[in-house]
Amino acid sequence: MRRILKITGIVAVLFLGMAFTFTTNNGRYFEILKNIEIYTNLYKELNTSYVDDIEPSQMMRTGIDAMVESLDPYTNYISENEIESYRLNTEGRDNSFGALTKKIGDYVTITEVYKDQPADKAELKAGDQILEVDGKDAKGKSADEMAGIMRGSPGSLMTLTIKRPGTKDPFRVSVERTRVDVPNVPYHGMLTDDIGYVNLTTFTRNAGRNVANALKELRTQNPNLKGVVFDLRGNGGGLLSEAVNVSNVFIPRGELVAATKGRVKDWDRSYKTQNNPVDEEIPLVVVINDRSASASEIVCGTMQDYDRGVLIGQRSYGKGLVQNTVEVGYNSRLKLTIAKYYIPSGRCIQSVEYENGEPVDVPDDQRTPFKTRNGRTVLDGGGVKPDIIIPKVTDNKLAKALIDQDFIFRYATQWVLKHKSIPSVEDFKFVDFDDFLNFVKSEGFEYVSETEKAIDKLETTAKKDGYTFEDPISKLRSTLAQTKIDDLRQFKVELTKMIEKEIAGRYYYQEGSIKMGLRNDNEIQEAIVLLNDKAKYNKILSGN
């Protein structure tokens, strides 16, 4: 009863506050007050009369999640337990144990270990399943839930119960938590004698400074540097201020990078570069894909709008929304969309449609044209379209299903058990593709093709009409199951490259994974060819 009275009292205070605050637009705010009262009365009745006890925080969280999910995918409620994950995404710091995790099956699994961090020192490996944390069962918990459980004060210890593939029994290991600074520029180096490479994985603090330092080092150590490949693939964004700073590495002071426009006009802002660039002349290729989002799109879109560099890869994600976080009590926050951002040409790259939280592709003929500084036509909505488009293997639904079901990761885990070491990244070659296909078949690859959907429909219709084709349909299904495995052979080259990259990371950590990816990378090879063809590079940027 006290709980109900407390909630009712809070709502009453809220009513009074709103009554004093909202002196205009009375009809709208009456609707707000009315529905808050309905919500409170509804909860009171459920709490009083529902057949089972109701857990307040769980029910309220369900209501909150449903409310924000009716908006865009980026307006989210961040509970107290999720604050550390949020800080990691924005600051790049993690009071944890130095490993990446993902839920695979019933348990969260370690997918990558950072070199010389506590997880590495405790000899944890990619593929290890976390069964317990300090004796608490971890079954069924999400990666975010586990991250919250495992975080703690730097220097504190936690005991993990681990199930490692290839070992019979689980074992325990003590791991010291520490402050892990996740590098946002994990690798930079030379692709050839005169073409450099910089990889930026997230727009956390000091991203601009780190990109600038990487470029300065490449120029200092390579006086004949004639071009740079800037890799933003898989970079989901981060701080808008760092998008401006990263852009400033390549364009002069005083240039507009982004403008934000929202419902509250007083919050509209323009963001310009503040410093002298590191190099505004060196030929630049920016590599993007469909997971390059938000701040990544600001940077690559700015480079395109100013004709500062050529974009290669796949169309970017299409997130042109600005979020702000506000405290909503009890150390929880609301991250809400307050504006859209516009890049220098005036275009907004926000996708306008979503399906299951993912942007739906917007056809070019439905996108509004804008002009770059040199007069090239670029389009708004649905992400940034590269100047040179290179298809990727995951554009095929069959191959994408294979990757989404973690078959490459799981196979690499089994492969590593049989191989104590590998040659250097430069010399290693994966030659066991048939073994990989056998693994996929034995592990029950799940993919429903359009043909199988048609067979299901035929079988259902036939039963309704009184016909039975069980034997022919069963044989056809069996044939299709084998055909799916055989069809993967057409992606042998691409899948082999992915397997090599995953395996290299197991032995040589993040740097090995990146180096192997560069060795096998179609987009990188295309970028090298372009930077060696000055006439073609200039022609693309001139728009002629």
Q: Tell me: pLDDT of 307 over 50.
A: yes
Q: Are 324 and 336 in contact (CB under 8 A)?
A: yes
Q: Tell me: pLDDT of 446 over 90.
A: no
Is 534 within a domain?
no
- pLDDT at residue 7, as a whole number: 47
Percent composition of the chain: helix, strand, coil (DSSP 3-state, to 5): 45, 20, 35
| Sheet with 310-313, side-by-side order of all strands | 187-190, 195-199, 227-231, 284-288, 310-313, 388-389
Buried-state track 253-288, b at ≥16 Cβ within 10 A, e below 16 = eebbbbbbebeeeeeeeebebeeebbbbebbbbbbb
What digits encode the pLDDT tens for the residues 114-152? 888 899 999 999 999 999 999 999 999 998 888 878 877
Is 349 within a domain?
yes
- pLDDT at residue 12, as a whole number: 45
Residue at which a domain ends, from 146, 166, 181: 181
Minimum mean pLDDT range among 28-32, 330-334, 338-342, 444-448? 444-448
CATH of the domain at 258: 3.90.226.10
Same domain (yes/no): 219, 363:
yes
* Distance between first and last Cα of the chain: 75
Q: Per-residue pLDDT averaged across 170-174, rounded?
A: 96
Q: Per-residue pLDDT averaged across 168-192, rounded?
A: 91
Q: Tell me: pLDDT of 200 over 50.
A: yes
Report the chain's C-alpha Rg in angstroms.
27
Same domain (yes/no): 378, 252:
yes
How far apart CA 394 and CA 115 sit, in angstroms, is 29
- pLDDT at residue 201, as a whole number: 94
Q: Tell me: pLDDT of 10 over 60.
A: no
Q: Report the percent of the chain where pLDDT is more than 90.
A: 53
As a whole number, the mean pLDDT across the chain is 86
Nearest to 178 by CA among 119, 112, 125, 252: 119
Which residues are registered as beta bridge partners of 269? Answer: 260
Q: Tell me: pLDDT of 9 over 70.
A: no
Running DSSP on this structure, what letter comes out for residue 314? S
Residue at which a domain ends, from 123, 153, 181: 181
Q: Per-residue pLDDT averaged across 189-201, rounded?
A: 97
In this prediction, residue 544 has a pLDDT band, given cuts at 50, 70 and 90, of: confident
- pLDDT at residue 89, as a whole number: 54
Same domain (yes/no): 506, 453:
yes
Residues contacting 153, CB < 8 A, separation 6+: 95, 177
- pLDDT at residue 75, as a whole number: 84
Q: Report the percent of the chain where pLDDT is more than 70.
A: 87
Minimum mean pLDDT range among 207-211, 274-278, 365-369, 498-502? 365-369
Pick from 23-27, 363-367, 419-423 the range whose average pLDDT is largest. 419-423
Is 409 within a domain?
yes
- pLDDT at residue 74, as a whole number: 77
What digits encode the pLDDT tens for the residues 243-269? 999 999 999 999 999 999 988 888 899
Same domain (yes/no): 381, 445:
no
- pLDDT at residue 482, as a whole number: 66
Number of domains making up the chain: 4
- pLDDT at residue 6, as a whole number: 45
Same domain (yes/no): 283, 197:
yes
Same domain (yes/no): 265, 376:
yes
- pLDDT at residue 343, as a whole number: 97
How far apart CA 300 and CA 226 sit, in angstroms, is 20
In this prediction, residue 11 has a pLDDT band, given cuts at 50, 70 and 90, of: very low
Q: What phi, psi does 443 have (nearest 5°)?
A: -90, 0
Domain of residue 228, residue span:
187-324+335-390
CATH of the domain at 150: 2.30.42.10
Minimum mean pLDDT range among 56-65, 356-365, 409-418, 452-461? 452-461
In this prediction, residue 322 has a pLDDT band, given cuts at 50, 70 and 90, of: confident
Q: Tell me: pLDDT of 36 over 90.
A: no
Is 64 within a domain?
no
Is 164 within a domain?
yes
In this prediction, residue 22 has a pLDDT band, given cuts at 50, 70 and 90, of: very low
How far apart CA 291 and CA 288 sit, in angstroms, is 8
| Residue with the larger pLDDT of the pair 320 and 419 | 419
- pLDDT at residue 470, as a whole number: 66
Same domain (yes/no): 162, 301:
no
Q: CA separation (Å) from 341 to 230, 249, 250, 350, 421?
A: 22, 20, 20, 8, 48
What digits encode the pLDDT tens for the residues 340-393? 989 999 999 888 777 766 777 778 888 899 999 999 999 998 899 999 999 887
Residue at which a domain ends, from 161, 181, 201: 181
The bridge status of strand 284-288 relative to strand 310-313 is parallel
Is 142 within a domain?
yes
How much is the pTM? 0.79
Q: Per-residue pLDDT averaged across 52-78, rounded?
A: 84
Helical pair 433-442 and 407-417, crossing angle rounded to 10 deg? 110
What digits encode the pLDDT tens for the residues 462-477? 777 776 666 676 777 6
- pLDDT at residue 479, as a whole number: 66
Same domain (yes/no): 386, 252:
yes
Helical pair 492-519 and 397-404, crossing angle rounded to 10 deg? 60
Is 273 within a domain?
yes
Q: Are 258 and 296 in contact (CB under 8 A)?
A: no
Which residues are registered as beta bridge partners of 162? Answer: 130, 171
| Residue with the larger pLDDT of the pair 183 and 475 | 183
Same domain (yes/no): 293, 366:
yes
Is 84 within a domain?
no
Same domain (yes/no): 158, 213:
no
Q: Tell me: pLDDT of 76 over 90.
A: no
Same domain (yes/no): 380, 255:
yes
Same domain (yes/no): 382, 475:
no
How far apart CA 265 and CA 259 sit, in angstroms, is 12
How far apart CA 257 and CA 343 sit, in angstroms, is 6
Nearest to 422 by CA among 430, 433, 414: 430
3-state SS track over 264-294 = CHHHCEEEECCCCCCCCCCCEEEEECCCCCC
